[in-house]
């Protein structure tokens, strides 16, 4: 059975991701198994950037994933970066198996606003769908409300929906049926 | 916007930077490659085309600024974006002065890079559209109705190509309907003025007063009815071409005014005081015997010489009979499309009739005849009868001797009979043996 593994990375716990598994199941039409990843984020920490290397974290996630994993999405609270970039919302294997998503920059508090758990939950769903979409071979879409619209700043995430546009949906289904 | 057709080259000496930028652009669906230094980057241009290049300013060996200059020499339309970890105003200004599209500092803000790339792609798209439009203009260099392979007509086209390169004033001579305006347009379309308008004035279509206003324009209130200021053809043709058709029809006063404008390139609008300067190339045309008009004092000699610097004579259609079937076929295809009559054709007899007719109205008359024939034709074929040419026997050949006339007639009947000797002999009212003898005598092929 092709199952999407949803892994909470410490200090995040599986219970913190309840609701996300159901949203992913509906979007991708595949069962979602919610669990906790044993990886230690400290392995991906970069003292020069004082952030966590998204590519390294993804590598660690994949190393510990089951061999026959259909898809795996790790969710972390730490702030991710890539060597060229100030920050990342997530990192994914394009047309691959794994992706990692950070909730750090999805929190309203980071932008001087009061905490908003519902908004945070919605943002997490959108970014989770986006990163998993990349693993299905989808690329960034310029249709503004498509979930595959690039996520480069928070307002861009809020402006899009959690759904694929017609073209991206067709591509995703084709990719899923091919797997 | 779709970045899937975009080729992006990343040039940075740091592997980790190349790698993370590669992954970033791959998620946009771009075609991507990387290079660690300028030498490797320049080698990437040998076999592939790139739309966007991201260059680190500081690299071992050739700097990003110098590399940017070299890439500009290869293809100025490539979008060059400079990246640096050392953000100084000086390096930014230097890069932009050298023609870089934009400048970004490491660590890169993803939102900023996304914005720059979208703008870069938009610019690239606009550059491509402009290039395509220019290409279209280049391809329009020969108006499609200029059809002809006959030596007499090829000579005209050679003259067009020759004179188009210069700004010389051209006078086109030819019968009515021979294609004088088409040739004027061809000269314009092949000239350096092709991106500006060609303005046509039919001097025979206006009264003197109206023609003056058309050519020079007028100020508001210049005359009764002049409610608004209006720019004339001289102004509209600025940087372009002005084509005077039927130039022989203008009055002596207009000739004087025109001569002054041609010499000074300055004029005032009717009722105006302000001097207007304009730059245009003049092409004129006439089917009149202008030399005779000059002799008789009806046309100014100085204007004649001013207009007649380069002369092109267009042969009448009957002077290039080999082009008649081609032109007829061209018009047939054109009207097939506009009338939605696919599959329309000429019968062989119709083609023969077209080829033998004198065409006093030249190409214009041929066009009208074909159009009319397609309307009246029954079925999907134009017959000789559909052509309805004015003479009762449109096949009357232009020959003097009886022998030539007989030869052409026998040939025509043989063709009509589809090569069937018995049928052709019956149509001619002669014996088969007699027909065979005539075929042999005139060297006709059956």
Q: What is the pLDDT of residues B318-364, one digit of tens each?
A: 989 889 999 999 999 888 888 877 778 898 888 888 988 889 999 99
Q: Beta strand pairing status for B79-84 and B198-202? A: unpaired
**pLDDT score at B89:** 60
Q: How far apart are CA B65 and CA B240, in angstroms?
A: 41
DSSP state of B378: S
Residues of A in contact with B109 (CB under 8 A): 85-86
pLDDT band at B146 (very low <50, low <70, confident <90, very high): confident
The answer to whether A88 contacts chain B (CB < 8 Å) is: yes
Residue with tokens 């994933």, as numbered in its chain: A65
Residues 6+ apart with CB under 8 A from B339: B374, B375
The answer to whether A155 contacts chain B (CB < 8 Å) is: no
Residues 6+ apart with CB under 8 A from A50: none
In the predicted structure, residue B393 carries a pLDDT above the cut 60: no
Report chain B's mean pLDDT, rounded to a whole number.
Answer: 87
pLDDT band at B394 (very low <50, low <70, confident <90, very high): very low
- In tens, the pLDDT along A126-170 reads 999 999 999 999 999 989 899 999 988 899 999 999 999 999 999
Q: How far apart are CA B446 and CA B393, in angstroms?
A: 24
Cα dihedral value A28, A32, A36, A40, nearest 10: -30
pLDDT band at B285 (very low <50, low <70, confident <90, very high): very high
- Separation in Å, CA of B113 to nearest CA in chain A: 9
Spatial contact of B328 and B387, defined as CB atoms under 8 Å apart:
no
Q: Among all residues of chain B, which has the CA nearest to that of A134?
A: B27
Tokens of B44: 């990437």
Active site residue A122: no
Q: How far apart are CA B103 and CA B228, in angstroms?
A: 51
Residues of B in contact with A95 (CB under 8 A): none
Q: How far apart are CA B404 and CA B331, in angstroms?
A: 31
* SS3 state of residue A82: strand
Find the CB nearest A153 among B83, B106, B111. B111
Which B residues in the span 107-146 are in contact with A, Cβ-Cβ below 8 Å?
107-111, 113-114
Look at A152 and B4 and tell me if their CB atoms are within 8 Å. Answer: no
Spatial contact of B150 and B323, defined as CB atoms under 8 Å apart:
yes
Q: How far apart are CA B424 and CA B438, in angstroms?
A: 12
- Separation in Å, CA of B131 to nearest CA in chain A: 25
**pLDDT score at A52:** 96
Q: Check: pTM over 0.90? Answer yes or no.
A: no
Look at A83 and B14 and tell me if their CB atoms are within 8 Å. Answer: yes
Q: Which of B395, B429, B400 is nearest to B412 (CA)?
A: B395
Residues of A in contact with B110 (CB under 8 A): 85-88, 152-153
* SS3 state of residue B33: strand
Q: Which of B252, B260, B329, B259 is nearest to B294 (CA)?
A: B252
- Separation in Å, CA of B124 to nearest CA in chain A: 17
pLDDT band at B392 (very low <50, low <70, confident <90, very high): very low
Long-range contacts, stretch B286-295, CB < 8 angstroms, 24+ apart: B286/B171, B286/B173, B286/B246, B286/B247, B286/B248, B287/B173, B287/B174, B287/B175, B287/B176, B287/B178, B287/B180, B287/B246, B288/B246, B288/B248, B288/B249, B290/B171, B290/B173, B290/B247, B290/B248, B293/B248
In the predicted structure, residue B97 carries a pLDDT above the cut 90: no
- In tens, the pLDDT along B186-222 reads 999 999 999 899 999 999 888 888 888 899 998 888 8
Q: How far apart are CA A25 and CA A154, in angstroms?
A: 24
The answer to whether A137 contacts chain B (CB < 8 Å) is: no
Q: Beta strand pairing status for B198-202 and A90-92? A: unpaired
Q: What angle do CA A126, A71, A168 make, to 5 degrees?
A: 50
Neighbour-count burial of B395, counting CB atoms closer than 10 A to its CB (0-12 exposed, 13-18 middle, 19+ buried): middle
Look at B108 and A83 and tell me if their CB atoms are within 8 Å. Answer: no
Look at A82 and B27 and tell me if their CB atoms are within 8 Å. Answer: no
Find the CB nearest B28 among A86, A91, A140. A140
Q: Among all residues of chain A, which has the CA nearest to that of B114?
A: A152
The answer to whether A14 contacts chain B (CB < 8 Å) is: no
Q: Please give the full DSSP string across B153-188, using - where no structure is assigned.
A: HHHHHHHHHHHHTS---EEEE--TTSSHHHHHHHHH
Q: Does an H or E element contain B400, and which?
A: none
DSSP state of A149: S
**pLDDT score at B135:** 64
- Phi, psi dihedral angles at B245 (to 5 degrees): -90, 145
* SS3 state of residue B287: coil
Q: In what order do the strands lie in the sheet with A4-9?
A: A32-37, A4-9, A71-76, A98-102, A90-92
Q: What is the mean pLDDT of residues B48-55?
A: 92
Look at B23 and A153 and tell me if their CB atoms are within 8 Å. Answer: no
Q: What percent of chain B has pLDDT over 90?
A: 47
Q: Which of B341, B367, B358 is nearest to B398 (CA)?
A: B358
* Residue B12 C-alpha from the chain's centroid: 47
Q: Among all residues of chain A, which has the CA nearest to that of B16?
A: A83
- In tens, the pLDDT along A43-96 reads 999 999 999 999 999 999 999 988 888 999 999 999 999 988 999 999 999 989
In the predicted structure, residue B8 carries a pLDDT above the cut 80: yes
Look at A85 and B107 and tell me if their CB atoms are within 8 Å. Answer: yes
Look at A142 and B113 and tell me if their CB atoms are within 8 Å. Answer: no
pLDDT band at A4 (very low <50, low <70, confident <90, very high): very high
């Amino acid at each position: 059975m092709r199952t999407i593994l949803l892994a909470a990375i410490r200090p995040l716990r599986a219970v913190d991701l309840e609701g996300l598994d159901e949203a992913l199941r509906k979007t991708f039409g595949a069962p979602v198994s919610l669990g906790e990843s044993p990886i230690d984020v400290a392995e991906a920490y970069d003292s020069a950037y004082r952030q966590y290397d998204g590519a390294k974290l993804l590598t660690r996630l994949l190393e510990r994933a089951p061999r026959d994993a259909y898809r795996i999405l790790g969710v972390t609270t730490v702030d991710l970066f890539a060597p060229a970039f100030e920050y990342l919302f997530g990192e994914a294997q394009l047309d691959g198996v794994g992706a990692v998503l950070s909730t750090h920059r999805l929190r309203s508090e980071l932008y001087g606003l009061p905490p908003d758990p519902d908004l945070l939950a919605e943002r997490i769903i959108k970014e989770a769908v986006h990163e998993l979409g990349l693993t299905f071979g989808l690329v960034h879409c310029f249709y503004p409300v498509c979930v595959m619209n690039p996520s480069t700043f928070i307002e861009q995430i809020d402006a899009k929906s959690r759904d694929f546009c017609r073209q991206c949906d067709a591509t995703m289904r084709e990719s899923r049926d091919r797997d | 916007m779709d970045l899937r057709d975009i080729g992006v080259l990343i040039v940075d000496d740091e592997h980790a930077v190349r790698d993370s930028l590669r992954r970033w652009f791959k998620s946009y669906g771009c075609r991507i490659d990387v290079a660690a230094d300028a030498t490797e980057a320049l080698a990437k241009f040998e076999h592939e085309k790139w739309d966007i290049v991201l260059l680190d300013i500081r690299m071992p060996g050739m700097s990003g600024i110098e590399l940017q200059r070299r890439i500009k020499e290869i293809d100025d339309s490539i979008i060059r974006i400079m990246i640096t970890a050392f953000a100084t105003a000086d390096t930014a200004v230097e890069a932009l002065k050298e023609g870089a599209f934009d400048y970004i500092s490491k660590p890169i803000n993803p939102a900023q890079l996304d914005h720059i790339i979208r703008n870069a792609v938009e610019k690239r798209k606009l550059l491509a559209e402009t290039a395509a439009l220019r290409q279209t203009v280049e391809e329009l260099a020969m108006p499609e109705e200029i059809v002809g392979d006959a030596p007499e007509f090829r000579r005209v086209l050679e003259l067009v190509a020759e004179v188009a390169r210069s700004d010389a004033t051209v006078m086109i001579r030819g019968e009515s309907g021979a294609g004088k305006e088409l040739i004027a347009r061809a000269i314009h379309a092949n000239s350096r003025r092709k991106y500006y308008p060609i303005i046509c004035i039919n001097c025979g279509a206006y009264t003197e007063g109206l023609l003056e206003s058309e050519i020079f324009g007028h100020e508001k209130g210049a005359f009764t009815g002049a409610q608004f200021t209006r720019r004339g053809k001289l102004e509209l043709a600025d940087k372009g071409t002005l084509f005077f058709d039927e130039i022989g029809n203008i009055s002596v006063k207009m000739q004087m005014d025109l001569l002054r404008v041609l010499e000074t390139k300055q004029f005032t609008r009717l009722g105006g005081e302000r001097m207007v300067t304009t730059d245009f190339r003049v092409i004129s045309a006439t089917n009149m015997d202008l030399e005779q008009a000059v002799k008789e004092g009806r046309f100014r000699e100085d204007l004649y010489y001013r207009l007649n610097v380069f002369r092109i004579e267009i042969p009448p259609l009957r002077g290039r009979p080999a082009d008649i079937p081609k032109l007829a076929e061209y018009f047939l295809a054109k009207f097939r499309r506009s009338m939605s009559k696919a599959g329309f054709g000429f019968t062989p007899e119709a083609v023969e009739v077209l080829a033998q007719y004198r065409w006093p109205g030249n190409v214009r008359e041929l066009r009208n005849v074909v159009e009319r024939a397609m309307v009246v034709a029954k079925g999907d074929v134009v017959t000789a009868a559909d052509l309805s040419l004015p003479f009762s026997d449109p096949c009357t050949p232009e020959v003097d001797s009886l022998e030539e006339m007989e030869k052409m007639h026998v040939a025509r009947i043989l063709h009509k009979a589809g090569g069937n000797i018995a049928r052709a002999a019956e149509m001619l009212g002669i014996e088969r043996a007699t027909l065979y003898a005539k075929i042999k005598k005139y060297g006709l092929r059956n």
